[in-house]
């Protein structure tokens, strides 16, 4: 059982995820400090020195701290935008790496030779248009089911 747990804990995905959680926690502290110590005081300068942490609505015995909520929303938006930028950069990097690898593979002397495609057999169409009423009909039809006209090209083919 200990061996199985050790294998599980040392798998790359779990270690990577743990590192991500630790870095995310540290990043959250940085963003929280940025919001509480720089952004919200700057906003309070423009809004008449309002301290957002003290914005409270009291209804009966309950107090709704909407100032704290606004601060948390700003926190979240900064973190979400930062993660978006990082993921977008990683995707661009991986796409350009794939493109470069494909270019190298095409130019490489060691790349596999692509066999020529076998000649494709023409596929017989399933439908055609009636030359008289322009309705779509079966390709092998000798008479149009819509206008009952005789279709001469198929009559000649079927007689052969």
Question: Once rounded to an integer, what is the mean pLDDT over residues 133-139?
Answer: 89
Q: How far apart are CA 13 and CA 9, in angstroms?
A: 9
14/72 same-domain check: yes
Neighbours of 75 (CB within 10 A): 19
pLDDT of 116 higher than 70: no
Summarize the chain as % helix, strand, coil (round to 5).
Answer: 60, 10, 30
Dump pLDDT digits (tens) for 4-32: 877 776 776 777 788 888 888 888 899 88
For the entire predicted model, the pTM comes to: 0.47
95/141 same-domain check: no
92/135 same-domain check: no
134/69 same-domain check: no
CB 125 within 8 A of CB 139: yes
For tokens 């930062």, what's the residue?
82
Q: How far apart are CA 100 and CA 159, in angstroms?
A: 60
**pLDDT band for position 100 (cuts 50, 70, 90):** confident
Neighbours of 84 (CB within 10 A): 10
89/13 same-domain check: yes
CB 146 within 8 A of CB 137: yes
CATH code: domain of residue 57:
1.10.1200.120
pLDDT of 160 higher than 50: no
State which residues form the domain around 52: 2-99
Q: How far apart are CA 31 and CA 110, in angstroms?
A: 50
In a domain, 120, yes or no: no
């Amino acid at each position: 059982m200990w061996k199985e747990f050790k294998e599980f804990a040392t798998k790359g995905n779990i270690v990577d995820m743990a590192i991500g959680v630790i870095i995310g926690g540290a990043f959250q502290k940085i963003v929280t400090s940025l919001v509480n110590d720089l952004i919200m005081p700057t906003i309070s300068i423009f809004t008449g020195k309002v301290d957002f942490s003290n914005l409270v609505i009291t209804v009966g015995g309950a107090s709704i701290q909407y100032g704290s909520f606004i601060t948390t929303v700003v926190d979240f938006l900064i973190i979400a935008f930062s993660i978006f930028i990082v993921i977008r950069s990683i995707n661009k990097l991986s796409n350009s790496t794939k493109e470069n690898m494909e270019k190298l593979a095409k130019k490489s002397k060691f790349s596999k030779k692509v066999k020529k495609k076998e000649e494709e057999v023409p596929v017989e169409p399933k439908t055609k248009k009636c030359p008289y009423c322009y309705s779509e009909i079966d390709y092998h039809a000798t008479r149009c089911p819509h206008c009952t006209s005789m279709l001469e090209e198929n009559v000649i083919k079927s007689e052969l």
